[in-house]
Chain A
Amino acid sequence: GAVVSQHPSWVICKSGTSVKIECRSLDFQATTMFWYRQFPKQSLMLMATSNEGSKATYEQGVEKDKFLINHASLTLSTLTVTSAHPEDSSFYICSADTRTGTVYQETQYFGPGTRLLVL
């Protein structure tokens, strides 16, 4: 199956620091990637949809100036948590779906996640 990687796998930073998380599709091209956040004991919540070469679309309640998304190539999307605060501490996961011709497949492939702890 398709492989999605994330880097870093975990990060601890001081409050006010900006943190960049990378999501890469290793063996396929992803025109779209999805960013999720998961707090302890809660489910994954879609934050934004990252589109290669265009602006990301954000879910209601997610600040676009706080969570900057850049999808500059077909294999890389980045999420930058700007001026991180303790309440941003969470598990951030990206995913991508694959395409056969013009048809997107149902299955989404998830990266291993990035655990962020803001002190």
Chain B
Amino acid sequence: RKEVEQDPGPFNVPEGATVAFNCTYSNSASQSFFWYRQDCRKEPKLLMSVYSSGNEDGRFTAQLNRASQYISLLIRDSKLSDSATYLCVVNKKGSARQLTFGSGTQLTVLP
């Protein structure tokens, strides 16, 4: 089983739509959770950290369910500029600082 699993997509949605991405992780001892976005041929950039209480940053909401080892990202009112690959990231087993990346979910927002 992969350490971090994501639905690869692609998700093609119209502008203004709400879209949700899911991710599961295998290491129950994981402590750090993130969503990164990666544009084509670029480095990943941190979108947001994910906390047990859930957190929101503008149109983006992240949720963590430790019991189910499940992380989600909700994007409301999608913009064309949201088109990217979204990476679910968890700290590597046995390390607080090394990261394990999911394979990413590709999103295309259509005009």
Contact = CB atoms under 8 A, between A and B. Distances in A.
Nearest to B45: A110
Given A34-B98, A44-B101, A113 B92 contact: no
Interface in B6-57: 32, 34, 41-46, 49
Interface residues of A, number: 21
Query: In which size bucket is the chain B interface?
Result: 20 to 34
A103 B49 CA distance: 17
B97 interface: yes
B77 to A, nearest CB: 26
Interface in A88-119: 91, 93, 97, 104, 106-108, 110-113, 115
Given A43-B87, A43-B103, A43-B104, A107 B98 contact: no
Contact of B97 (A36, A42, A93, A97): A97
A46 B99 contact: yes
Contacts of A104: 96-97
7 nearest A-B pairs in the assembled complex, by CB-CB distance = A110-B43, A43-B103, A43-B101, A44-B101, A113-B43, A112-B43, A93-B43
